[in-house]
Amino acid sequence: MKTVSICLLILIVFGLGVALTLQQGRQLATPPSATAAPAHVTAPGDLPGVEPSFSLLDNLRDNLQDPLPRLFLQLIVIILAARLAGALAVKFHQPAVIGEMIAGILLGPSLLGWWSPAAFHFIFPASSLGSLRLFSQMGVCLFMFVVGMELDLVELKQQARTAMLVSQVNILFPYLLGVIAALFLYSSLAGPGISFPVFALFIGISLSLTAFPVLARILQERGLTQTALGTTAIACAATGDVAAWCILALVVAIAKAQGLLATAFTLGLVALFVCLMLFGIRPRLPRWIDYVSHRSGTAGKGVIAGVLVFLFASALATDAMGIHALFGSFLAGLVMPARGELREFLRLRLEHFSAVFLLPLFFAFTGLRTQVALLNDSTGWLICLGIILLATVGKLGGTLFAARATGVNWLDSFSLGALMNTRGLVELIALNIGYDLGILSPRIFAMLVIMALATTCLTGPLLTLADHLRARSRLRPRPV
């Protein structure tokens, strides 16, 4: 009780002191301003009968114009939309990443900008997109690092022979179809000033990519990881993923370089860097990580700091060479030590942070670029449907016949083709690279984003159809 009385007395003395000081200060003369206002300008409060206006809503709106509050508002909206849409996608037996991708598009001009332009421009003004882009690119770099880390090179070598034919066909056949399709798309849909070879090569890679991480999660959700189908799918997707990213690196080098000599120089630098990473750094990396963990007082923090420095240095190196930073991130993950404990330790910390926080920003940033309204005529939608059909025929059809040629039965070959037709996030990453380089116009960018969503959404229903046909074939009586 005595302590409470003393505290109250202190508060009263403090309040009286502040109040008396402020009252005394009102009698002081106001100092002149540095720049005197023009004589004819009168403040609103000085006009007779006019009171200065004040609105709480206007004050809040003005405060939200600052970059930091605006970024917080964007993060809240994006993360909530991604989580809600992801949960809704799971209820419809689709991977959560499908819902997150759709949420990013719905937050862009395709829905929010069309339904409420004022709200869209208030939450996502053009001046704020720079910060959002940097955060999204950071998330994709962490994601590609985890993707590279999850690829087991030893297992890949063991499965490469059996999956070689299938992986080659499911990359080369849709690639060829994409290059042929570019003949009809180039004149009206290529980016300004882009040569036909660059555009055609990029359309080919857009149709031939498979989303290895999304495919792995579909296999896990359906309990197919340890089956022959799952093992073959993982081997084909991993082999194709590496080949596709190498081709994409070549296309980026051609697009960014000035002339043949510059392209050859860039590719030479990249080849040297890859050799350094695989044969110079990869064998020594476990020893360096052990040294960092023993040197640091807290092993976990030391390892995380060292890995992040290595990841960002690799991304910086490839970006400085003229190849996108994502390739360096992927390569850094690829050369990480094969010890299961370390990979799981890093995956739990980096993948969860990037998947929950940073990747939704990438989906939103992609959605802000995707203008479905540009497909405002029947011709545009017909071209979009044609691209979806061509992409499906290339991946599913090519894989189907290649797998059947190796002795796999028709239904398993069909299931394998449906899995290879999964594009998802990896496709969006490649499309954003093409958009940043000016290879894709906004119109075909929207078409290819829709294609990525459609082909990924088809995977689940096609696998269910294959399971249904497989069950029916077992029920049929065998001929005598």
pLDDT (mean) for 27-32: 74
Q: Find which of 36-50, 180-194, 461-475 is predicted with most confidence, using mean pLDDT.
A: 180-194
**Four-point Cα dihedral 406, 411, 415, 420, nearest 10:** 30
The yes-or-no verdict on residue 383 having pLDDT over 90 is yes
Q: Would you state the pLDDT for residue 476?
A: 55
Q: Would you state the pLDDT for residue 37?
A: 47
Sign, CA dihedral 431-436-437-442, equals: positive
For residue 183 the two structure tokens come to 């003949």
**How many angstroms separate the Cα of 398 from the Cα of each of 5, 172, 179, 276, 458?**
85, 9, 16, 35, 16
Q: Would you state the pLDDT for residue 257?
A: 66
Per-residue pLDDT band at 346 (split at 50, 70, 90): confident
303 in a structural domain: yes
DSSP label at residue 440: B
CA dist 385 and 87 (Å) reads 28
Q: CB neighbours (10 Å) of residue 463?
A: 20
pLDDT (mean) for 452-469: 89
CA dist 396 and 417 (Å) reads 4
Q: CB neighbours (10 Å) of residue 363?
A: 28
The angle subtended at Cα 448 by Cα 447 and Cα 454, nearest 5°, is 90
Question: Do residues 315 and 326 lie in contact, with contact meaning Cβ atoms separated by under 8 Å?
Answer: yes
CA dist 226 and 395 (Å) reads 23
**How many angstroms separate the Cα of 176 from the Cα of each of 39, 83, 164, 196?**
75, 38, 18, 15
Q: Would you state the pLDDT for residue 443?
A: 93
56 in a structural domain: no
Instruction: Determine the length of the chain.
Output: 480
Return the percentage of the chain with pLDDT > 90, whole number: 18
Alpha carbons within 13 A on the beta-carbon side of 28: 8
- List the alpha helices (DSSP H) in 190-259: 196-208, 212-221, 228-256
456 in a structural domain: yes
Q: Which residues, 6+ apart, have CB-to-CB distance to 453 below 8 Å? A: 98, 101, 102, 105
Q: Domain containing 395: what range?
A: 105-470
Looking at per-residue pLDDT, the higher value among 17 and 152 belongs to 17
For residue 397 the two structure tokens come to 């059809």
Question: Do residues 406 and 162 lie in contact, with contact meaning Cβ atoms separated by under 8 Å?
Answer: yes
User: What 3-state DSSP class applies to 74?
Assistant: helix
Question: Do residues 128 and 71 lie in contact, with contact meaning Cβ atoms separated by under 8 Å?
Answer: yes
The yes-or-no verdict on residue 323 having pLDDT over 80 is no
The yes-or-no verdict on residue 154 having pLDDT over 70 is no
CA dist 317 and 252 (Å) reads 15
The yes-or-no verdict on residue 358 having pLDDT over 60 is yes
The yes-or-no verdict on residue 159 having pLDDT over 60 is no
354 in a structural domain: yes
The yes-or-no verdict on residue 36 having pLDDT over 70 is no
Q: Which residues, 6+ apart, have CB-to-CB distance to 277 below 8 Å? A: 314, 331, 332, 334, 335
Q: Would you state the pLDDT for residue 296?
A: 54
8 in a structural domain: no
Q: Exposed/middle/buried for 173, CB within 10 Å: 0-12, 13-18, 19+?
A: buried
121 in a structural domain: yes
For residue 47 the two structure tokens come to 């006009």
Q: Cα-flanking dihedrals φ and ψ of residue 479, to 5°?
A: -65, 145
Q: Which residues, 6+ apart, have CB-to-CB distance to 364 below 8 Å? A: 74, 78, 81, 82, 103, 104, 107, 108, 132, 136
CA dist 180 and 182 (Å) reads 5
Q: Would you state the pLDDT for residue 266?
A: 76
CA dist 415 and 301 (Å) reads 43
CA dist 244 and 212 (Å) reads 11
For residue 156 the two structure tokens come to 């890949």
- Which CATH number belongs to the domain containing residue 434 in this structure? 1.20.1530.20
Number of domains the chain contains: 1
Per-residue pLDDT band at 226 (split at 50, 70, 90): low
Per-residue pLDDT band at 448 (split at 50, 70, 90): very high
The yes-or-no verdict on residue 366 having pLDDT over 90 is no
Q: Would you state the pLDDT for residue 402?
A: 87
Q: Give the residue among 329, 294, 345 at the shortest CA–CA distance from 433.
A: 329
240 in a structural domain: yes
pLDDT (mean) for 235-259: 75
Mean pLDDT of the chain: 80
Q: Find which of 150-159, 213-222, 415-424 is predicted with most confidence, using mean pLDDT.
A: 415-424
Q: Would you state the pLDDT for residue 44?
A: 45
**How many angstroms separate the Cα of 84 from the Cα of each of 94, 200, 366, 457?**
13, 37, 18, 17
CA dist 214 and 96 (Å) reads 10
The yes-or-no verdict on residue 475 having pLDDT over 60 is no
Q: Would you state the pLDDT for residue 446?
A: 93
Q: Cα-flanking dihedrals φ and ψ of residue 190, to 5°?
A: -75, 155
Q: Which residues, 6+ apart, have CB-to-CB distance to 208 below 8 Å? A: 170, 171, 172, 174, 175, 178, 240, 244, 394, 395
pLDDT (mean) for 225-233: 74
Give the tens place of pLDDT for each residue, 40-99: 444 444 445 444 445 666 666 677 677 888 888 888 999 999 889 989 988 887 878 888
Q: Would you state the pLDDT for residue 454?
A: 92
User: What 3-state DSSP class applies to 336?
Assistant: coil
87 in a structural domain: no
For residue 412 the two structure tokens come to 């398993």
The yes-or-no verdict on residue 116 having pLDDT over 50 is yes
